[in-house]
Amino acid sequence: MFSTPAARQRHILALLDTRHILTIQELATELGVSAMTVHRDLNKLADSGRLVKTRGGVALPPATHGHASAPTLCAMCNRQVSERSAVILQGHRLGRLTACCPHCGLALLERNTSPDLILVTDFLYCQMVSARDATYLVGSDVHSCCTPGILAFADHNAAERFQRGFGGDMMNLLQVHNFLQRGLALSEELRR
C-alpha cells in the first residue's frame, strides 16, 4: 500500500493533520513497516521542517498549526508566542496548547492533565526539543517575556557557556518544576 518513501511520508503528514501527535509504534503499525523505516521517513520530513521528532514520537511544528497569518497567543498569559521561545503541550485529550516561554509552559503543565508531549524551543538554535531532555537556565541577565525568565537549551554544554556569560541557575525539568512550585506557594502565602 505504502511501498514508496514519498507515499509513506504523505500519509504521515495526513495523519498528523488530523491527530497532531503520533508515536513511532503507531506509525509503524499504520504503515506496515519497521520502526527504522519510520525513523528514516520522519528524518526526511523533520529535515524539511514539516514535523518535529521527539523521543518516541512526532508532532507538527508550531507554525503549521492554525492560520499562518494570525499570531499565536500564549494559552497562559495571552502574549504573542515567539518562535524563539515557544512551548507546546499536546495530548489526545488535552489537544494542543502553546505557551510563549518555558515559564508559562510549565505553569500550563500544572493546570492540565499529563500531556503526551511537551516540547520547548532551544533558545540558541530555535529547534524544538523534548522538555524532559532540555537544560534550563533560570533568572539569567537575558530577560524573556515572563518572570522569572526561563530559557531552554537542547545542549547542556551550550547552557553552561551561556550561563558563564549571562548568569542564572542551571536546572533540569524537575528542578524547574520544583522552583516554580515554591514560587507559587510563596505568592499564595503572601496573599493571605
The band of 65, judged by pLDDT with boundaries at 50, 70 and 90, is very low
Lowest-pLDDT choice from 5-9, 106-110, 117-121, 181-185: 181-185
- 54 and 75, same structural domain? no
**Do residues 126 and 167 both lie within one domain?**
yes
Same domain for 51 and 83: no
Query: Last residue of some domain: 17, 33, 60?
Result: 60
Cell of 25: 509504534
Residue 160: domain span: 67-191
Tell me, what's the pLDDT at 107?
85
Q: Are residues 52 and 98 in the same domain?
A: no
Q: Are residues 100 and 71 in the same domain?
A: yes
Do both 13 and 49 map to the same domain?
yes
**Counted domains in the chain:** 2
94 and 51 co-located in one domain: no
d(CA 105, CA 5): 35
Q: Are residues 143 and 173 in the same domain?
A: yes
| Nine cell digits for residue 177 | 518544576
Radius of gyration of the chain measured on its C-alpha atoms: 18
The yes-or-no verdict on residue 47 having pLDDT over 60 is yes
Is the pLDDT confidence value at 173 over 50? yes
- Residue 161 backbone class (left: φ over 0; alpha: ψ -120 to 50; beta: rest): alpha
Report pLDDT for 188.
57
Find all residues with CB under 8 Å of 70, minimum gap 6, and list them: none
Helix axis angle, 24-31 to 35-47, nearest 10°: 110
Q: Which residues of 177-191 are buried (b: 16+ CB within 10 A; e: fewer)?
A: bebbeeeeeeeeeee
pLDDT of amino acid 67? 42
Clarify whether residues 12 and 96 are in a common domain: no
